Amino acid sequence: MAEAEQRQTLALPLAPSLTPVLVMCGIRPHPTRSSRRLGGICVLSAGIAILAALAAEILLRLIAVITNLSWNGSWSLVTAEPNPHRMGWWTLVIPVAGGLIVGLMARCGAPGIRGHGIPEAMELSLTKRGCIPPRMVVLKPLSAAIAIGTGGPFGAEGPIIATGGALGSLLGQILRVSTRERRTLLAAGAAAGMAAIFGTPIAAVLLAVELLLFEFRASSFIPVVVAAAVATGLRTLITGGAVAFPITGPAGTSASQLMGVAVLGVLAGIAAAAVTRLVYGIEDAFGRTRVHWMWWPALGGIAVGVTGLIEPRAIGIGYGNLTDLAEGHLLGLGVLGLLLWKTCAWSIALGSGTSGGTLAPLITIGGCIGAWSATGLHLPLPVAVLVGMAAVFAGASHAVLASAVFVAEATGQAEVAGAALLASAISWLVASRMIGASIMVEKIARRGVRVPGHQGDPLPRDRERVERAAFRLPRFWRRRGDR
């Protein structure tokens, strides 16, 4: 033993659990080439996170500038919502003008800016070896800022996820990395973008794993964690670290309320399946017209303008609606009106192929369903709203873990995580049985792209033969004639 302590020998550990034993024996484990490579990818991921956090801040400020110019006639970096009451009948014109600009950018710049960003990132990760065109780094956030700033009922999360992924892919194309490492950098950039917008690092990592990585290896998982953590730290430095959707009321649940949570999960799954079919039904309707796709966003802008005249809350990002729902500032017919008009405006605008995200509209729809059904299900209003937010997004995206954790992180209500997870799982089961593919996968599945682990049917039917072993009693319990 004394000789072993004096002699330093390079050796490769047989398993991670043997490393402490080797150290005790004085044998220094030799760092493998793969571990050094992983460290380099983590450093690159941290750099991408810095760029993604800056891009997220620029996107939010750009949305504020365009919103203030379009609806208030002023130049300001202060966050604002569309103001149809001030603009009057010009409310019909502003979204159409934004749609025209986005359509022109897609036609002359990059058709990939159309849509909500995550399916496009998934497709490029699966079919183009993680290579995203460099021009997407500029055109995607710019087109999204124009669409949202002129009244589009979207969130900024989809475009910034696509932008962060494009930054990671661009760096991976410049440097000499493998296809798997490039995909990892793409996922790291996407996770950093989401964490920079909402300050939800764990949910961002889970979303990247569930929708972009399709695996849970340390070599792919750790760089994404690094990127999300760095982006969250930068967000805290820039904005002060406040939660995205501050909720003041308690959001805990008791065992007696779990039945209501389960029923809410069923309602959310039905709603998720319905809005997914509605979006792609409208997209198919646009495809059957003889109008060139460049003009579709302008046609969708007409629906946004009409919605703005009827229900102003339904256009724009509308993050403030979530706080109003959870704190009871919006009740009764106000909730129902927001639910119906937000769904109509978002599905028509998204089906027209403009640029924008899906997370904010989906969680708004879920929050409305939760607020509308809270009394009937005997659930506290904040609990019902938060659980509905998570469940509808889980049913539509099939990202169960990310949805539940996102709501807990974004609102600062960790005690709602268990109820949100239960409702999200039930919503996923219901939505999967009704429509199969998620709102993310359906778009690329129509193009013939097969997504690992997202085939849509959670329960085997005729495609799989399930054999059940017959239960037989022990021999000494059987009757004499059955032995």
pLDDT one-digit tens code per residue, 132-156: 777 888 888 899 999 999 999 998 8
Backbone angles phi, psi at 322, to 5 degrees: -65, -40
d(CA 111, CA 168): 20
Q: Which of 181, 173, 178, 70 is nearest to 131 (CA)?
A: 173
Asked whether the predicted pLDDT for residue 418 surpasses 80, the reply is yes
Beta carbons within 10 angstroms of residue 436's beta carbon: 17
Q: Which residues of 154-175 are buried (b: 16+ CB within 10 A; e: fewer)?
A: bbbbbbbbbbbbbbbbbbbbee
Share of the chain above pLDDT 70, in %: 82
Contact 366, 427 (CB under 8 A): no
How many CA atoms are closer than 13 Å to the CA of 253, on its beta-carbon side? 29
What are the tokens at 376?
């009937």
Q: Domains of the chain (ranges plus CATH)?
A: 1-30 (no CATH), 35-239 (1.10.3080.10), 255-445 (1.10.3080.10)
Task: Note the pLDDT of residue 274.
Answer: 96
Beta carbons within 10 angstroms of residue 384's beta carbon: 32
Please give the model's pTM, rounded to 2 decimal places.
0.84
Q: Which residues contact 7 (CB under 8 A, 6 or more apart)?
A: 26
Q: Which residues contact 181 (CB under 8 A, 6 or more apart)?
A: 37, 41, 172
Residue 104 CA: distances (Å) to CA of 292, 332, 470:
11, 41, 65
Task: Note the pLDDT of residue 469.
Answer: 41
Contact 290, 358 (CB under 8 A): no
461 or 441, higher pLDDT: 441
Asked whether the predicted pLDDT for residue 46 surpasses 60, the reply is yes
Share of the chain above pLDDT 90, in %: 48
Asked whether the predicted pLDDT for residue 470 surpasses 50, the reply is no
Band of pLDDT at residue 431, cut at 50, 70 and 90 = very high
Residue 469 CA: distances (Å) to CA of 127, 415, 462, 472:
41, 41, 19, 9
Contact 102, 355 (CB under 8 A): yes
Task: Note the pLDDT of residue 463.
Answer: 45
* Largest Cα–Cα separation, the chain: 93
* Mean pLDDT of the region 170-183: 81
Range from 22-36, 91-105, 443-457 carrying the lowest mean pLDDT = 22-36
64 CB-contact burial (10 Å; exposed 0-12 / middle 13-18 / buried 19+): middle
Band of pLDDT at residue 459, cut at 50, 70 and 90 = very low
Task: Note the pLDDT of residue 150.
Answer: 94
The string of DSSP codes covering 363-395 is HHHHHHHHHHHTTTTT--HHHHHHHHHHHHHHH
Range from 86-95, 335-344, 401-410 carrying the lowest mean pLDDT = 86-95
Handedness of CA 68, 151, 427, 270 (dihedral sign): positive
Q: Which residue has the tokens 């996770």?
A: 191
Asked whether the predicted pLDDT for residue 163 surpasses 90, the reply is no
What would the pLDDT profile of 55-99 be if each residue is shown by its tens digit?
999 999 999 999 999 998 888 888 888 888 888 889 999 999 999
Task: Note the pLDDT of residue 129.
Answer: 60
Task: Note the pLDDT of residue 468.
Answer: 43
Asked whether the predicted pLDDT for residue 348 surpasses 90, the reply is yes
d(CA 387, CA 251): 9
Backbone angles phi, psi at 29, to 5 degrees: -60, 140
In 68-135, where does DSSP find H-type helix?
A: 84-87, 93-108, 118-127
What would the pLDDT profile of 258-314 be if each residue is shown by its tens digit?
999 999 999 999 999 999 999 999 999 999 998 999 999 999 999 999 999 999 999
Q: What value, to the nearest 5°, has the Cα angle with vertex 195 and ends 191 and 196?
A: 115
